[in-house]
Structure 1
């Protein structure tokens, strides 16, 4: 059996070889783009049917499809502070704006958190005269602390 990490590497390789896009994979699987991408990178378990569709489109075997179905260890990065520039910039955004986001959630919603379990995420490119922008929308259910 291969691990979810090995399956993720197989996905990256197969995408390069086949030219299949994340959007095509999401359409084939029938799930949102960001969820599908995260799942194929090892962050969510897929159903047997979803895994089979993704593996077929990527021309990968049953061993990889099985790995897509395994329960993940979520949120694991190679280092405490990410070194990949794109991931680091997101980390930097949270370092700079995290306390403000926390304060605004508490002021507007009360003592609680934004769920990362009941969660939606969207990423899109938006044209701008000063240079294209990346718009990331995080949409998590508010969960009040209950004592």
Structure 2
């Protein structure tokens, strides 16, 4: 019951922040297991500049339940003065009210170069940006689009 109440709270929080978000991003990623089976994930983040507040969540295709993320920091690297800098952003997940794994996204401008998930035990899963699945205007991912 506590998990259901917490999940309802998270969903309400996400939607209330989304209404006031100054920037809302949805990206779709896919990783392939050793047997070729895809692991599909929707990664959504929101930013409210007036409060300096960031929140996010991920939804795996199966099971289709949101996992709350909290922003844990970013680093920037400048390669050339007239080019966008590389940004590495980290997000920690909260499962049943406790910290769990960590998501890392590496981007330069609008291009995503890396996305990974590190379990609490240290196992790392690398994902690829799935442009065919991303439907930003609809706020979701269409997993029938392929990789």
Indicate the TM-score class for this superposition, using the shorter chain for normalisation.
under 0.3
Higher strand residue share: 2
* Bigger radius of gyration among the two: 1
* TM value normalised by structure 2: 0.24
Higher helix share: 1
